[in-house]
Amino acid sequence: MAQSAAPAPAASTAIPAVAPISLKEIAPWALFVGVLMLLLLYFVGAEQGATSLVSGENVHEWVHDGRHLLGFPCH
């Protein structure tokens, strides 16, 4: 195998390198919105199945078909 170092000048014809977004910028969004999104997934995928935050079974029954078709264990 030839050394594949120094790729910059050769590849310059195609795509210019995209500057990464700093992780410090992403972290707060990832924390707050990421947790919110995971909570949404929990309500679609598991609430009132294995564990219940809300009593009754209306959440489970309402998303029943989605839960089956999205691959979550339902009942």
Partner 1 sequence: MNSISVRALLVRGMLAGLAAGVLALIVAYLLGEPHVDAAISFEEAHSHDHGGGEEPVSRTLQSTAGLATGVLVYGVALGGIASLAFCTALGRIGRFGPRATAALISLGALIAVYLVPFLKYPANPPSVGDPDTIGKRTALYFLMIALSVLLSVGTVILGKRLAPRLGNWNATVVAGAAFVVAVGLAYAFLPGVNELPDDFPAGLLWKFRLSALAMQLLLWTGFGLLFGHFAERLLTPRAGAQEEKARAAAPAG
Residue 47: φ, ψ to 5°:
-60, 140
- The residues of the shown chain that bind partner 1, judged by CB under 8 A, are 1, 3-5, 7, 11, 14-15, 17-23, 25-26, 29-30, 33-34, 36-38, 40-41, 43-46, 49-51, 56-58, 61-75
Q: How many residues does the chain have?
A: 75
Alpha carbon distance 73, 75 (integer Å): 6
Closer residue to partner 1 (CB): 53 or 61: 61
Q: How far is the CB of 53 from partner 1 (least distance, A)?
A: 14
